[in-house]
Amino acid sequence: MNFFHFIGQNHAQVLELTLEHLWLVGWSTFFAIVIGLPLGIAIARHPASSKPVLTVANIIQTIPSLALFGFLLPVPWLGDRADRLAILALTLYALLPVIRNTYTGIRGVDPAVVEAGRGMGLTDSQLLFQVQLPLALSVILSGVRVAIVISVGLATIAAAIGAGGLGEFIFRGLAMVNNQLILAGAIPAALLALVADFSVGWLERRLQPR
Amino acid sequence: MPPTAPERPAIEFVDVSYVAPGGQAVLSRLNLSVRGGETLVLLGRSGSGKTTTLKLVNRLLLPSAGEVRVNGVPNSQGDVIRLRRSIGYVIQDVGLFPHFTVERNIGLVPTIEGWPQERIRSRISELLQMVGLDAALASRYPHQLSGGQRQRVGVARALAADPGILLMDEPFGALDPLTRAELQQEFLALQQRLRKTVVFVTHDLREALRLGSRIALMEAGRLVKLLTPQDFLRSGDPMVSAYVNAFGGCGDEGPERAGNRGAE
């Protein structure tokens, strides 16, 4: 039985697990942006606080993912549902690229432009929304792109705690020593990462400031 | 050229000192009055405190001691945003917003001030004409313009909300000599018409002599001398003549000669 045959026969399940996978990645990316973007803006404004924040985000990223899932398991409410837990863990991993790129993107805006804006009497929020964020947007988006790709990969491991997703095929295949099954999880996951990478990359280029 | 009536100065520095965050004294006890409608040139070498002096006016920097008054009122009073919008600001690096077209750059302050669309549009075309730019450039982006065109847009943007005061920090410093001479010429013509109170920073003596109604020579954070261009050339003060000598005497100075390579 070849791989395509397997996919053909189990397309309903492949689709279901892919959707689960997208669910995990989608929410974690959403939360990473909702938390990471304001945090990145805040540390860009107060550079003194950038070091501790980036260090913490860095440390989180070095925790092995399987261990992080394990640590979070006993947490009340969260531990009740595997998908919540997986989303939290994935969010934590996705935070660093979002925070870091927001920070570097804003700090990288030409100082002359910022000074001119300030000198013209733009308020802090006008400066942020009209000048700094638009000019940093492509850098921020490339952080989001990295975050998504990381999440797609790590979400396969979430199956280990029963959160579903394409990792189910991979773990089942590992247990049954069945390469078809492993590939049925790994290839769609890789495709997801590629599609996400490509489409956010496209958006990034379109929004590139001149 | 300077107004005869001793009216209230437009900008006044009273015992102003500025110490940089690193602890270095950049400006010490500066006393200086800028008359309404004049072009006061701050002249001096790099690090003499010219730019700092300028930034104290629109509160991009706050004095460590002393007081800066704008139209008689200490500029530490009242809203800093209002203050800055009433003062035009032009810098050497221009600082045009790269993601905005020329017209959006020029119209930004009027827009956030809530002017009606129609008035903004007519103001933009008025300003483009005023600084000698083709109306067709309005929809271009800054990276599509030459250096001279960009600086013209910078001037137009600073004039957009019709401020009474204009701060210019080496606005023509990065331009080639020909373009610089052209812009200086147009600045003179424009100033003849508009009569703004201008504080102009430069290290180029020729530019100072050409554009200034008075020249304030600064050195190491202090005001050395405040003289008209004519008196500047005749002054016996050693620091003033050192500056004049560094520029090859400048005795043949005149509008026609300016724009030759200056300092640098």
Residue B242 pLDDT: 87
Q: What is the CB-side half-sphere exposure of residue A108 using CA atoms within 13 A?
A: 16
What pLDDT, on the 0 to 100 scale, is given for residue B260? 41
Question: Rounded to a whole number, what is the distance in angstroms from the first to the last CA of chain B?
Answer: 29
Distance CA B8, CA B37 (A): 11
B84 to chain A, closest Cα gap in Å: 5
3 state SS for A154-183: HHCHHHHHCCCCCHHHHHHHHHHCCHHHHH
Q: What is the structure's pLDDT at A19?
A: 93
Give the nearest partner residue to B91 out of A112, A121, A135, using CB atoms: A112
Contact status of A191 with chain B (Cβ, < 8 Å): no
To the nearest 10°, report the CA torsion of B236, B238, B242, B244.
-20
pLDDT classification of A9: cutoffs 50, 70, 90:
confident
In the block, which residue shows the tokens 């804003």? Answer: A106
Residues of chain B positioned with their CB less than 8 A from the CB of A130: 97, 108
Numbers of helices and strands, H then E, in chain A: 10, 0
Instruction: Tell me how far CA of residue A7 lies from CA of A10, A55, A83, A184, A195, in angstroms.
Output: 5, 43, 25, 7, 19
Using 50, 70 and 90 to split pLDDT, how confident is the model at B254? Answer: very low
Category of B15 on φ-ψ map: left (φ > 0), alpha (ψ -120 to 50) or beta: left
Mean pLDDT of A84-105: 94
Taking alpha carbons only, the member of A165, A166, A30, A21 closest to residue A88 is A30
Looking at residue B262, its pLDDT comes to 39
Using DSSP, state whether B262 is helix, strand or coil.
Answer: coil
For residue A79, pLDDT beyond 70? no
CB-defined contacts A:B, below 8 A: 62
Residue of A nearest to B158 (CA): A120
Mean per-residue pLDDT, A160-171 = 90
Across the interface, of A112, A114, A135, the residue whose CB is closest to B94 is A112
Of B82, B95, B112, the CB nearest to A126: B112
pLDDT digits (tens, 9 = 90+) for B29-62: 999 999 999 999 999 988 899 999 999 999 999 9
pLDDT of B6 > 70? The answer is no
**Do A105 and A137 form a contact (C-beta atoms < 8 A)?**
yes
For A49-63, the DSSP string reads GHHHHHHHHHHHHHS
**Which residues of chain A are within 8 Å of residue B83 when distances are taken between CB atoms?**
121
* Chain B residue set in contact with A, beta carbons under 8 Å: 58, 60, 81-85, 89, 91, 93-99, 108-109, 112, 141, 143, 154, 157-158, 167
| CA nearest neighbour of A132 among A152, A117, A150 | A117
Residue A131 DSSP code: I
Q: What are phi and psi of B115, to 5 degrees?
A: -65, 150
Percentage of chain B modeled with pLDDT above 90: 78
Whether chain B has a CB inside 8 Å of the CB on A110: the answer is yes
Tell if the CB–CB gap between A134 and B83 is shorter than 8 Å: no
User: pLDDT confidence of B19, banded at 50, 70, 90?
Assistant: very high
Q: Phi and psi (nearest 5°) for B70?
A: -115, 120
- The tally of CA atoms less than 13 A away on the side-chain side of residue B33 is 9
pLDDT per residue over A15-61, tens digit each?
Answer: 999 999 999 999 999 999 999 999 999 999 998 999 999 999 999 98
DSSP state string for B21-33: TTS-EEEEEEEEE
pLDDT at B249 over 80: no
Query: Where does the pLDDT of residue A210 fall: very low under 50, low under 70, confident under 90, or very high at 90 and above?
Result: low
> Which residue from B58, B96, B143 is facing A119, i.e. has the nearest CB?
B58
Q: What percent of chain A has pLDDT over 90?
A: 71
| B257 confidence band (pLDDT: 50, 70, 90) | very low
A109, A120, A124, A127: which to substitute to probe chain B, counting the most B Cβ within 10 Å? A120
Q: What pLDDT band is residue B255 in, cutting at 50, 70 and 90?
A: very low
pLDDT at A5: 84
Distance from CA of A133 to the nearest CA of B (A): 11
- How many residues appear in chain A? 210
Q: Strand pairing partners for B214?
A: B40
Confidence at residue B33, expressed as pLDDT on a 0 to 100 scale: 95
Q: Residue range B207-232: average pLDDT?
A: 93
Interchain CB distance below 8 Å, B99 and A116: no
Test A112 with B60 for CB contact under 8 angstroms.
no
pLDDT of residue A55: 95
> Looking at chain A, which residue has its C-alpha nearest residue B80?
A121
The helices-and-strands tally (H runs, E runs) of chain B is 9, 10
User: Are B89 and A116 inside 8 Å of each other by CB?
Assistant: yes
Q: What is the pLDDT of residues B109-160, one digit of tens each?
A: 999 999 999 999 999 999 999 999 999 999 999 999 999 999 999 999 999 9
Mean pLDDT across the stretch B184-200?
A: 94
CA distance to partner chain A, nearest, from residue B256 (Å)? 32
Q: Which of A150, A174, A176 is nearest to A36 (CA)?
A: A150
Q: What is the mean pLDDT of residues A170-191?
A: 92
Report the distance separating Cα A185 and Cα B97, nearest Å: 47
For chain B, the average pLDDT equals 89
Give the span between the Cα atoms of A179 and B98, in whole angstroms: 53
Nearest residue to B98 (alpha-carbon basis) of B31, B42, B143:
B143
CA–CA gap between residue B117 and residue B107 (Å, rounded): 10
What's residue B259's pLDDT? 41
Instruction: Report d(CA B33, CA B70) in Å as an integer.
Output: 10
Q: What is the pTM of this model?
A: 0.86
Q: Which of A94-98, B7-11, B120-124 has the lowest mean pLDDT?
A: B7-11
- Which of A113, A119, A130 is opposite residue B89, by nearest beta carbon? A119
Chain B hits for A122, CB-CB cut-off 8 Å, are 81, 108, 112
Nearest CA in chain B to A137: B99
Distance (Å, whole) CA A189 – CA A22: 10
